[in-house]
Structure 1
Amino acid sequence: MLYRIVFVSEMIGASGRDVQSVAEILGVSERNNLRDEISSAMMFHDGEAAQVAEGARADLDRLLTRLSNDPRHRNLRILEDRPVMQRRMRDSARLCALNDAQAQDILYGRRLSDLSSTGLEKLLSCEHVKMAA
C-alpha cells in the first residue's frame, strides 16, 4: 500500500538557508529516496522545511526516523499521514523554491508551519510558483 505524508520542521543553523546546504540536502534526499522508492517535494523558507513524501509505510517510517535523528531539524510535525491510491509526486526529490515576491504573494507573511496540510501539498506541487520573466 502507498502512503503520503506531509510534514514541517524547523531548520537549525545555516541548513536550508544557503545554496550549498540546500544542494547537499537535495543530493542526499535523492540518493536515499531512489533507494527507498520514495517520491517527494520539499521547500525551505524562513528557517523552516516542508515536505510531502510518498512511498511504502516502512520506507516512510525510516525517512521520518532519519529526520527525527538529524541534528539539522527540530520540532518535526506530521500534518498528514494517509494511504493513497496513486503517487502525486513523480520525482525522488524535487525542490520547490520561492523568491521574495512569490513568498509575499503566496504566504502573506505566514510561515510554512502556519499552512494546513492541504495548503502545503498545493504549494509543494509547485502549481503557484511561476518562473521569473
Structure 2
Amino acid sequence: MLYRVVFVSEMIGATGRDVQSVAEILGASERNNRRDEISSAMMFHEGEAAQMAEGARGDLDRLLARLSRDPRHRNIRILEDRPVMQRRMQDSARLCALTDIQARDILYGRRLSDLSCAGLEKLLSCEHVKMAA
C-alpha cells in the first residue's frame, strides 16, 4: 500500500539557507529516495523545511527515523500520514523554491509551519508557484 507523509521541521544553523547545504540535502535525498522508491518534494524557507513524501509504509518509517536522528533537523511535526491511491509526485527528490516575491504573495508573512496540510501539499505540488519565463 502507498502512503503520503507531510511534515515540517526547523533547520539548525545555515542548513537550507545556502546553496551548498541545499545541494547536499537534495543529493542525499535523491540517492536514498531512489533506493527506497520514495517520491518527494521539499521546500526551505526562513529556517524551516517542509516535505511531502510518498512510498511504502516501511520506507517512509525509515525516512522519518533517519530525519529524527539528523542533527540538522529539530521539532519534526507530522501534519499528515495517510494511505493514498496513487502518487502525486514522480520525482525521487524535487526541490520547490520561492522567490521573495512569490513568498510574499503566497505566504503573506506566514512560516511554513503555519500552513495547513492542504496548503503545504498544494505548495509542494507547485500548484501555486509560477515559473519565470
Question: How far is 1:128 from its partner?
Answer: 1.1
User: Which blocks of at least 5 consecutive residues in structure 1 are unaligned?
Assistant: none
User: Which blocks of at least 5 consecutive residues in structure 2 are unaligned?
Assistant: none
Question: How far is 1:132 from its partner?
Answer: 2.5
State the secondary structure of the residue aligned to 1:7: strand
**Alignment-mate amino acid for residue 101 of structure 1:** I
Deviations 1:11-47 (A, max 9, x none): 0001000011000000000000000000000000000
Between the aligned partners of 1:110 and 1:60, the Cα distance in structure 2 is: 28
Between the aligned partners of 1:85 and 1:107, the Cα distance in structure 2 is: 29
State the partner residue of 1:56. 56
Question: How far is 1:51 from its partner?
Answer: 0.3
State the secondary structure of the residue aligned to 1:5: strand
Between the aligned partners of 2:59 and 2:132, the Cα distance in structure 1 is: 36
**Alignment-mate amino acid for residue 47 of structure 1:** G
Deviations 1:60-98 (A, max 9, x none): 000000000000000000000000010001100000000
Mapping of residues 12-31 of structure 1, within 5 Å: 12-31=12-31
- TM score, norm. by length of structure 2: 0.99
State the partner residue of 1:95. 95
Residue 118 in structure 1 maps to residue 118 in structure 2: yes
**Alignment-mate amino acid for residue 27 of structure 2:** G
**Alignment-mate amino acid for residue 126 of structure 1:** C
State the secondary structure of the residue aligned to 1:92: coil
Between the aligned partners of 2:131 and 2:53, the Cα distance in structure 1 is: 24
**Alignment-mate amino acid for residue 9 of structure 2:** S
Question: How far is 1:57 from its partner?
Answer: 0.2
Identity of aligned residues (%): 88
Question: How far is 1:131 from its partner?
Answer: 1.8
